[in-house]
């Protein structure tokens, strides 16, 4: 199954996915990595792994729908089946989401529905929760509101800074995201309303 990863930044989740493809944990192929930031390290990681890396400049497509159309064209040309958001800092338009309905995943650094949107780790720390974590979910038209595929808790320590907590959450993300992707590829995810049931046997 051909997949596209959309990433705006450091790309450690992209790297975990690429590693899982290489070691057989994911039986698909990352065909293209797309970024809205020219200097995103994710693009470099893609190039280093021999994956097509594309920067699509938001300034050349000022309207959101024009930008999303440019990405959709790339995805269709490459017959992409699954779109993976890995630190992609833009909200997709409703028509993009419709075209890839239940075929777009995202990972978020909190236990949704708590602390959606920007700075999920910072929000959790500021609120004072004792347990946070990460969530892999399907993308719908809302902000981090789609059906939850997998979640895992990460304890918050009194000494935690945003950096130290995010680092522990990242470690879990790198395990959780490839697992969710492989469940999808194996056809083991079933949606019942907004519940996503995973047949892990
Ligand atoms: C991750 O924490 C993810 O949950 C959030 O953005 C961060 C991306 O990190 N959506 P990286 O670029 O994959 O290292």
- Shared domain for 88 and 112, answered yes or no, is no
What CATH number is attached to the domain comprising 30? 3.40.50.170
pLDDT of residue 64: 94
Question: What is the pairing mode between strands 82-85 and 148-155?
Answer: unpaired
If you measure from the C-alpha of residue 87 to the centroid of ligand 1, how many angstroms do you get, rounded to a whole number? 4
Name the DSSP class of 27: -
The last residue of one of the domains, among 67, 100, 133, is 100
Work out which ligand 1 atom sits closest to the CA atom of 86: 13
H/E element holding 83? Answer: strand 82-85
If you measure from the C-alpha of residue 21 to the centroid of ligand 1, how many angstroms do you get, rounded to a whole number? 19
The last residue of one of the domains, among 100, 133, 151, is 100
Question: Which tens digit of pLDDT belongs to each residue from 139-195?
Answer: 999 999 999 999 999 999 999 999 999 999 999 999 999 999 999 999 999 999 999
Work out which ligand 1 atom sits closest to the CA atom of 7: 12
CA–CA separation, 81 vs 170, rounded Å? 26
If you measure from the C-alpha of residue 193 to the centroid of ligand 1, how many angstroms do you get, rounded to a whole number? 27
With the most atoms of ligand 1 within 8 angstroms of its CB, the residue from 5, 11, 12 to mutate is: 12
pLDDT of residue 201: 64
pLDDT of residue 62: 85
Identify the domain containing residue 134 by its residue range: 106-201
Q: With CA atoms as reference, report the closest residue to 86 among 45, 129, 131, 132.
A: 45
User: Predicted confidence band at 199 (pLDDT cuts at 50, 70, 90)?
Assistant: confident
Question: Which tens digit of pLDDT belongs to each residue from 8-47?
Answer: 999 999 999 999 999 999 999 999 999 999 999 999 999 9
- Shared domain for 81 and 134, answered yes or no, is no
Question: Which tens digit of pLDDT belongs to each residue from 70-124?
Answer: 999 999 999 999 999 999 999 999 999 999 999 999 999 999 999 999 999 999 9
The last residue of one of the domains, among 74, 100, 126, is 100
User: Predicted confidence band at 200 (pLDDT cuts at 50, 70, 90)?
Assistant: confident
- Shared domain for 53 and 130, answered yes or no, is no
Is 166 considered catalytic here?
no
Neighbours of 6 (CB within 10 A): 25
CA–CA separation, 130 vs 76, rounded Å? 43
Percent of the chain topping pLDDT 90: 98
Q: State if residue 110 touches ligand 1 by the CB under 6 angstroms criterion.
A: no
Q: What is the pTM of this model?
A: 0.97
Number of domains in the chain: 2
- Shared domain for 169 and 192, answered yes or no, is yes
pLDDT of residue 114: 98
């Amino acid at each position: 199954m051909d997949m596209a990863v959309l990433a705006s930044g450091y790309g450690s989740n992209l790297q975990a996915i690429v590693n899982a493809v290489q070691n057989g944990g994911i039986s698909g192929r990352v065909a293209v990595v797309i970024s809205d930031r020219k200097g995103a390290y994710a693009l470099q990681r893609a190039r280093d792994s021999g994956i097509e890396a594309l920067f699509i400049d938001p300034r050349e497509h000022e309207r959101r729908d024009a930008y999303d159309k440019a990405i959709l064209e790339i995805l269709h040309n490459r017959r992409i089946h699954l779109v993976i958001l890995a630190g992609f800092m833009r909200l997709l338009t409703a028509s993009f989401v419709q075209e890839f309905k239940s075929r777009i995943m995202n990972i978020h650094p909190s236990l949704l529905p708590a602390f959606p949107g920007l700075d999920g780790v910072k929000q959790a720390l500021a609120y004072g929760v004792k347990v946070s974590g990460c969530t892999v979910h399907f993308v719908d038209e809302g902000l981090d509101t789609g059906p939850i595929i997998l979640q895992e808790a990460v304890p918050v320590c009194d000494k935690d800074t945003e950096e130290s907590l995010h680092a522990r959450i990242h470690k879990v993300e790198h395990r959780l995201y490839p697992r969710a992707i492989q469940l999808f590829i194996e056809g083991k995810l079933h949606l019942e309303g907004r519940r996503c049931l995973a047949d892990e046997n």
